[in-house]
Amino acid sequence: MEKTRQIVKMKSIGYFSVLFLLGLFGCGPKDISPHAIQPEVDTCAVCHMSIVDEAYAAQTVYTNGDYKVFDDLGCLVQYAVEKQTADVGANYVKDAETAEWLQADQATFVYHPDFWTPMSYGVLAFATPQKAEAYIDREGKGKILKQSDLQQHEWGVHDHE
């Protein structure tokens, strides 16, 4: 009888240990990499339009793994300014040349009112300042915006000058 109690006690300790370890792993850091856009499901958190052109999409990924998507990086900036929260893990924008995800804080931005974007904000993202400058040279227009310039930028639909 005593031996049976010891076996049950050891099994109980084993089960609780496994549950404890699973709990620890479940509370670990969440994945804050960008999520794949699902155009038929995802809508912009600001303007509520569907993500019609993924090449201009942006997203915020929170430290808990949740995320919000935007159809234009201007919507991302507007959301970030209005909803300033400390639980943002990363913000992502699409590179204007490759449509690959870039961390927004590492991107270089180019603005011109004639540049097409879904919400007509006219701001594009590039992986490097050199690529942004080369784009301006090719297009013959545009100005560089750094990450710090985005909050002061006049967001909104721009008339073509």
pLDDT tens-place values along the chain, 161 residues long: 555 455 444 444 443 333 333 333 345 558 899 999 988 889 999 999 999 899 999 999 999 999 999 999 999 999 988 887 889 999 999 999 999 999 999 999 999 999 999 999 999 999 999 999 999 999 999 999 988 888 878 776 544 44
> Which regions of 53-159 does DSSP assign to beta strands (E)?
58-62, 67-70, 88-94, 101-103, 108-111, 123-126, 143-145
- In Å, how far are 23, 26, 117 from 70, measured between CA atoms? 33, 28, 12
Torsional class of 105: left (φ above 0), alpha (ψ -120 to 50), beta (otherwise): alpha
The pTM score is: 0.77
Q: Using an 8 Å Cβ cutoff, are 30 and 89 in contact? A: yes
Distance separating alpha carbons of residues 130 and 144, to the nearest angstrom: 11
